[in-house]
């Protein structure tokens, strides 16, 4: 299915960002951050080279998350900064996601107060929008920040809210992943 999608997008000339962006999500949902990075790099590099900002901000937050999941925190932070610089103030989706990804990076560095504030800023932005998936992802990322800070009960409550939004959006895979994670948090 991915190969057929790639063929169709190549024929339409839209490969540069649409194809790599969505195919990367398929890989992320499968738990393969390396393959996601491989999909995102060509579009990221091309858009960066031509100075395009709007689609670049979308690709860069996706790439920063793939890098984060590989444990490449310094590189992921750099890409969140590129996303921050590229996205417009009204690009709520990118504004939410660079903050929540960077929050997780700060939590990995044990800067918990700063990480939590950044994650809550992302959620506050999400609450002003209709981007349920970004809101759910932001809550999931705050869960990780709280868990890394040793606040398991707060993390569990936040994750339950995230699961509810995933269910409301119809993202059953993310909701089930959240339930598995929630069960682990409660033990």
Closest by CA position to 72, among listed 126, 33, 41: 33
Listed residue (112, 166, 96) closest to 144, CA to CA: 112
Cα dist. 143→2, 35, 137, 150 in Å?
31, 25, 10, 11
What is the model's pLDDT at position 23?
Answer: 84
Three-state DSSP at 83 gives helix
Q: What is the pLDDT of residue 1?
A: 52
Query: What is the mean pLDDT, run by run of 10 residues, along the chain of 187 residues?
Result: 53 60 82 94 88 87 96 98 94 94 99 98 95 95 98 98 97 94 93
Find the radius of gyration of the CA atoms of the chain. 16
The CATH topology of domain 89-187 is 1.25.40
* Angle of CA points 144, 54, 34, to nearest 5°: 45
Give me the residue label for tokens 């660079």. Answer: 98
CA distances from 81 to 3, 76, 178, 182 (A): 32, 9, 28, 31
Query: How many whole angstroms separate alpha carbon 115 and alpha carbon 113?
Result: 5
- pLDDT, averaged across the chain: 90
* pLDDT of res. 17: 61
The predicted structure's pLDDT at residue 13:
54
Q: What Cα–Cα distance (Å) separates residue 22 from each residue in 29, 97, 106?
A: 11, 16, 27
């Amino acid at each position: 299915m991915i190969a057929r999608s790639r063929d169709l997008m190549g024929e339409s000339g839209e490969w540069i960002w649409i194809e790599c962006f969505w195919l990367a999500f398929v890989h992320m949902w499968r738990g393969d951050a390396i393959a996601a990075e491989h999909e995102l790099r060509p579009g990221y590099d091309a858009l960066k080279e031509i100075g395009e900002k709007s689609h670049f901000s979308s690709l860069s937050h996706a790439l920063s998350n793939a890098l984060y999941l590989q444990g490449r925190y310094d590189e992921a932070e750099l890409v969140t900064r590129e996303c921050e610089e590229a996205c417009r103030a009204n690009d709520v989706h990118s504004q939410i996601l660079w903050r929540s990804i960077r929050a997780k990076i700060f939590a990995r560095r044990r800067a918990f107060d700063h990480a939590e504030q950044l994650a809550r800023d992302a959620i506050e932005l999400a609450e002003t929008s209709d981007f349920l998936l970004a809101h759910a992802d932001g809550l999931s990322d705050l869960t990780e920040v709280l868990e890394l800070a040793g606040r398991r009960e707060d993390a569990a409550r936040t994750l339950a809210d995230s699961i509810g939004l995933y269910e409301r959006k119809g993202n059953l895979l993310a909701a089930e992943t959240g339930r598995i994670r929630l069960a682990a948090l409660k033990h």
